[in-house]
Structure 1
């Protein structure tokens, strides 16, 4: 790891100003991904701006939304009573992500901004990586690929977005509040992330001198049921091969409202609008669930190592739709 300067910001505006003054600077919160990337030589910021003392730690229900400070830890959000009662899919996504030790360090803002786990991106010795070196090519497309994306992917990049939490939040129409040098803005998470086929080197719309300060999560109707299913190689401390975040409102056997997010398959947390279109207004049956899963994966891009994800993702979604709706297999 190269040497770097360390600065502790006293408030949000100072943190943003410090970022603006140094184009290479980076913010440090939990550091659970960032420090690994620095040790690997992927990131080499000349300055780290410690933001852990900023007043961004609260969890507060306001009206029909839950407002979560960017520095709230994953574990703190997972045990929040409002999350447990109204947002079970969020709680499950958090508890299935990482170890307890990591969840007690990792922040919500940091989790949403985590970088891909693609082995080629994380190895500077690999020269071809459009995400790390734009225009150089994609070693994953040509080489061994398994923990990679099939949605939002192309020959330019198949790097996977690894966040479980972001999949749940995208499906709930959550928004992030962002502080810039001169203004604040609010960005829906469905518009926050960029697909790798659009711009492999850029993963979201956040500008350098901007900071996520808060995540706003709309609370679903009391009649809604939700859940998060994660399929992985081992039972704990592993990233998803496929996952599904599902929220349904079912009345009289008919789906009145459907929200679906997919993980383990997208270059960004994937909102499955095609599945929602099939589900909404349809009877809650396994046949409809299968139609929804087929619609979701129609535009997939695969290489030999990732082709298995198509049937796996379809089965994962069908299973979670059955679980949330109470429909038997």
Structure 2
């Protein structure tokens, strides 16, 4: 007897699902029995329009395999686009169980060359594009809970190693992805009473966004068919599990995932402390800081930093 499908009966929304990680997530959810709303605006890496919008193709791919899916091409970094996304799930399938926030893009510059438009564009798609779908989905789930229909809802946000450690040439992207971690922690704390669990992943995989940055290290499998550690499909099993009704109580967590490795990331925690019970002079504060730093663990290296 085969094992029951992990997401049978659930309705899952995946943003940025036309390619790369989002496409892999959408297909993996469908394979576990979910009905999927495939969102993708269909733009290039820099956010400019792409005439070949992929959301419909992924939805058709799911249907061709015997699953259920509908495409959504709205801009989820706008209030109407995010509201429409939630509406599409409810009007098409009558419910919403899981939101996977995956949409994002890059405009890489060193800080001295990073202009305001590049900053605003990356913040808009990566951070605002997480907030607005989350806000509209959360409003629906809160209403359900208040009506006595407490959901087993799940949100999976997409951060990055750049958001956890920083990445040279990606000040805007690093800040946005760090913001997603903060948003995840707040949402987990606020929405738990409504039956919503919220977690984040920091994935490493070969996608349009990473292929240039990691071209030397992200090799495809060799002719013998060895494990392709950088395939986006490696990330999706954890996302599907986090988006299922399994794992009650798993919320407010960040998982790094690469190849066959899953790591629970541990964020800021109090380290060495000194308290004199009164005000320090600047010199005394400096002496105390140096002594504490000598006792503290060294920080992780920023991606791309020399040395």
The structure number with the bigger radius of gyration is 2
User: Which structure shows the higher helix fraction?
Assistant: 2
Q: TM-score, normalised by structure 2?
A: 0.27
